[in-house]
Amino acid sequence: MRSARPIVTLCLAALALSGCRESVAPEDPGPIVLAATFSETGRFATVGSEVARGYRLALEMLNDAGGVAGREVTLVLRDDGSGAEVGAGIYGEYVAADTIDLLLGPYSSPTTEAVVAVTEAAGFVLIATMAAAPAIWAGQNRQWSVQMLNPGPTYLQGSVELAAANGARTAAVVYEGSQFPASVAEGVREAILEHGMQLVLDQPYAVNGADHEALATEALDAGADLFVGGGYYDDAVAFTRAIPAVGYAPMLVSLNLGPAQTSFARELGGLARCVAGNAPWVSTVRTSGFIADSETMVGRYEAEHGVLPSYYAAGGFGAVELVAEAIDATTADMEEIDAMAVRDYLFTVSTETVLGPFSVYPMGDAQAGGQRALKGVLLQWQDDGAGGLTQKIVHPPEVADAEVCWGR
């Protein structure tokens, strides 16, 4: 955190006869400086770049409107290569610098967990933009880090509910054996038990080590009506290709990450039809935050990038909104930022950003800093009536805009 600027003594020429007098110099404190990493390269580059786009658009719109507390807001953004160790090292440099005010998070739960260890030890405010693994907060006594996303166990539970209601009796859970995908699988198991289904395949695979066709064949041989799981974007694409390639036709395919992105259908074409996945946010659900409402944000993003924003971009945008709101609520014009006041605001406020509702468990709670307001939706790619595909919300019922498309 940058140090407070000094009070200086001015000798006013107009008062030379009566001597000098001491006053507070209205020195320009300069911009508020945020910092983050993003996955510009490595296995998370596709989605990490979308988060960065959200960050940049939010700052552009915020500064166009005058900034916060009378000051411009700038962002230091560096590539972590999709690596937890690299990310932690960069955030170590951030907290050691005398130029950074507050921090936004990297992409992915593994990198966030490594970063939080650094920022918590340094007493530095961190808004964890893109980390869904609940273990980062549960039982950790966090005091400086808050979660934006809905926790992983909630991601694909809706697909189990829908499949069970349509007569599915068996399920395969196939997932990358890292923290976030494992947390999604945990929630799926709970839902399978709750809905009286049988788990006929429960299979983790190594990071970057999936044989997608072999795993799809295992699910086929096990007779799974529902295929759930995956890892990150590349796995979602690979499983969507592998399942029909081995002659497997489950009632429903529901994958962690990938189906929420518009690039998923562009890359896969007709293979994406009926594939479902979680999204904490979609552009058709109206939300509003400190900088803009979702309709305005979507319009600006589409104009700049030629595509609709995914929830990754909305998360980046919402994180900037959240930190700007906290600064605005705790800092008078042109004053130094009180990091503890910002921290206390984030741990107690119930508010909304473009991403959706925000509220975390308070300090002292076993899950302090963990998200408890955002729920997310289940999306599915369906026919658009013109030979293409479109995203539809199929769960929860109160916001669904389509019935489920079944694979059989």
- Cβ–Cβ under 8 Å, residues 188 and 139: no
103-112 per-position pLDDT tens digit: 999 999 999 9
Q: What is the pLDDT of residue 17?
A: 37
66-83 per-position pLDDT tens digit: 999 999 999 999 999 999
Q: Are strands 377-383 and 275-279 parallel, antiparallel or unpaired?
A: antiparallel
Q: Which residue has the tokens 């005091």?
A: 143
Q: What is the pLDDT of residue 26?
A: 52
Please give the mean pLDDT across all residues of the chain.
92
Cis peptide before 396 (omega within 30 of 0): yes
- Cβ–Cβ under 8 Å, residues 297 and 314: yes
Q: What is the pLDDT of residue 10?
A: 32
Query: Mean pLDDT lowest for which of 25-39, 137-151, 283-297, 325-339?
Result: 25-39
Q: How many CB atoms lie within 10 A of CB 138?
A: 17
Q: Which of 277, 308, 263, 321 is nearest to 129 (CA)?
A: 321
332, with CB counted inside 10 A (0-12, 13-18, 19+), is exposed
Q: Which of 134, 168, 138, 140 is nearest to 152 (CA)?
A: 134
Residue 215: helix, strand or coil by DSSP? helix
306, with CB counted inside 10 A (0-12, 13-18, 19+), is exposed
Fold match between 32-150+284-358 and 154-279+376-395?
yes
Q: Mean pLDDT across the stretch 311-329?
A: 97
Distance in angstroms (rounded) separating the CA atoms of residues 281 and 297: 13
Q: Mean pLDDT across the stretch 73-102?
A: 97
375-384 per-position pLDDT tens digit: 889 999 999 9
Distance in angstroms (rounded) separating the CA atoms of residues 3 and 309: 37
Check whether 119 has a pLDDT greater than 50: yes
* Concatenated DSSP letters of 216-276: HHHHHHHT-SEEEEE-SHHHHHHHHHHHHHTT---SEEEESSSTTSHHHHHHHGGGGTTEE
- Cβ–Cβ under 8 Å, residues 79 and 36: no
Please tell me whether the overall predicted TM-score, pTM, comes out greater than 0.85 for this model: no
- Cβ–Cβ under 8 Å, residues 392 and 379: yes
Q: What is the pLDDT of residue 18?
A: 43
What amino acid is encoded at 327 in this protein? I
**Which of the following CATH numbers is that of domain 32-150+284-358: 3.40.50.2300, 2.40.50.140, 3.40.50.300, 3.40.50.720?**
3.40.50.2300
152-204 per-position pLDDT tens digit: 999 999 999 999 999 999 999 999 999 899 999 999 999 999 999 999 999 99
Q: What is the pLDDT of residue 408?
A: 80
Its sign, for the CA torsion 343, 369, 41, 295, is negative
What amino acid is encoded at 234 in this protein? D
Residue 378: helix, strand or coil by DSSP? strand
For 158, the token pair is 């809706």
CATH assignment of 154-279+376-395? 3.40.50.2300
The set of residues, in sequence order, having a beta carbon less than 8 Å from that of 194 and lying 6+ positions away, is: 160
Distance in angstroms (rounded) separating the CA atoms of residues 21 and 23: 7
**SS3 of 65-124:** CCCECCECEEEEEEECCCCHHHHHHHHHHHHHCCCCCEEECCECHHHHHHHHHHHHHHCC
Query: Mean pLDDT lowest for which of 14-28, 147-161, 198-212?
Result: 14-28
Domain ranges of the chain: 32-150+284-358, 154-279+376-395
Q: What is the pLDDT of residue 3?
A: 42
222-237 per-position pLDDT tens digit: 999 999 999 999 999 9
Distance in angstroms (rounded) separating the CA atoms of residues 130 and 71: 27
Q: Mean pLDDT across the stretch 344-351?
A: 98
Q: Mean pLDDT across the stretch 291-309?
A: 96
Residue 282: helix, strand or coil by DSSP? coil
Residue 33: helix, strand or coil by DSSP? strand
Q: What is the pLDDT of residue 257?
A: 85
Check whether 255 has a pLDDT greater than 80: yes
Q: What is the pLDDT of residue 9?
A: 31
